[in-house]
Amino acid sequence: MASSLTCTGVIWALLSLLCAAASCIGFFMPYWLLGTQMDKPVSFGTFRRCSYPVRDEERQATVMLEQCGRYASFNGIPSLEWRICTVVTGVGCGLLLLVALTALMGCCISDLISRTIGRVAGGIQFVGGLLIGSGCALYPLGWDSEEVQQTCNNSSDQFQLGSCQIGWAYYCTGAGAAAAMLLCTWLSCFAGKRQKQYPY
């Protein structure tokens, strides 16, 4: 089975997959922000939430439903900043995943990735990482929303967590993006083999 990648290219392909997986898993998981409400643990992602208050008509009281789910609609996401963050981060994760899968195919298919295509793929990874990084930077702007304030003892504001804390998924997403921007982009410059010159 012929490969179109150099030894460095194989490392690039595997690292690209790892970075894309870290960013995608972190993006999908609702553990970006952790807090408590009514003595129950609550967590938020950009478009998902775990534990939310519902009205119990039998007991005539508000209770916390301990399950995770997406917001019912895109407009249901608590703040405009989080909506933008969801779109920007999602597009960035898509780009990283696309390049990672292409790089993995380059391990098995000859003449798929040349030096030039490797560098273009690295540029796409840089843009993907930049988009995810922008999404992570936008996320704290939504901490002043009513839902977050209820979870953080009404003491949160933009870039101020109050009684809440940042969860592992936020770090996982950001770390995947940073590694893609710095390491993968650099390694992509040496990933493709020089194409053979065919005499015609």
Read off the pTM: 0.89
* Residues in contact with 151: Cβ distance below 8 Å, sequence separation at least 6, in sequence order: 33, 35, 36, 37, 42, 44, 164
- How confident is the model at residue 195, as a pLDDT? 61
d(CA 93, CA 45): 15
- How confident is the model at residue 129, as a pLDDT? 97
- How confident is the model at residue 23, as a pLDDT? 97
d(CA 107, CA 12): 10
d(CA 194, CA 176): 29
Mean local confidence (pLDDT), 128-147: 95
> Per residue in 146-169, pLDDT tens?
999 999 988 889 999 989 999 999
User: What tokens were used for 77?
Assistant: 């996401």
> Per residue in 23-70, pLDDT tens?
999 999 999 999 999 889 999 999 999 998 888 888 888 888 889 989
Q: Which amino acid is at 60?
A: Q
d(CA 61, CA 51): 16
Q: Which amino acid is at 118?
A: G
User: What tokens were used for 89?
Assistant: 């981060």
- How confident is the model at residue 108, as a pLDDT? 84
